Amino acid sequence: MASPFLYFAGDRLSSAELSAACLDGDLVDLGDAYIPADAVETTALRAGSLARRLGDSLAATHLTAAWIHGALPLPPSRHTVQRAVTRRLHRTPDRRLVYRDLAVPASDLHIIGGIRVTTPVRTLIDLARIDDERHARAATLLGRTLPDALAPAIARLEAGVLPHKRIGLALLRDVLAAAGQDEVTR
């Protein structure tokens, strides 16, 4: 069930009406939707704003999942998704998506706001193994936002055989060490 706080173009209001409401300060944009200006931005609203684009067969991953989990203040310019179903998709993914055809196991998914999103542990593992500054920053912010996910993510990386495992382990251990130092200084 869609949230009553999410407004999509063409549902209750047209694009022109939504734009006018934004100009009046009544609505603000959130992902692919709009929410009342005084609404609290939650994980469910962030996820629900992508429901039309992701549907039932795709899961939000990587930077998109980090944004949904609250680690990033703004959504990525292109959302990263993977198959959330075992069967191959026989349609061209949206050009505004970074699509990965590998299916995400159900055990690594939560349903938030009506869409599938990788768990914080899986999201940390995915982000930490990509060797670029944006993903490393997102992993660091997610680790700070949800520190309980750090130790399980490190344990899964240590136990698994994955590409770029060493890079991921080094990053997550640094984030865990920094989180431990933050606890000591409080």
* Type of residue at 92: T
For the segment 31-86, what is each residue's pLDDT rounded down to a tens digit? 999 999 999 999 999 999 999 999 999 999 999 999 999 999 999 999 999 999 98
pTM: 0.93
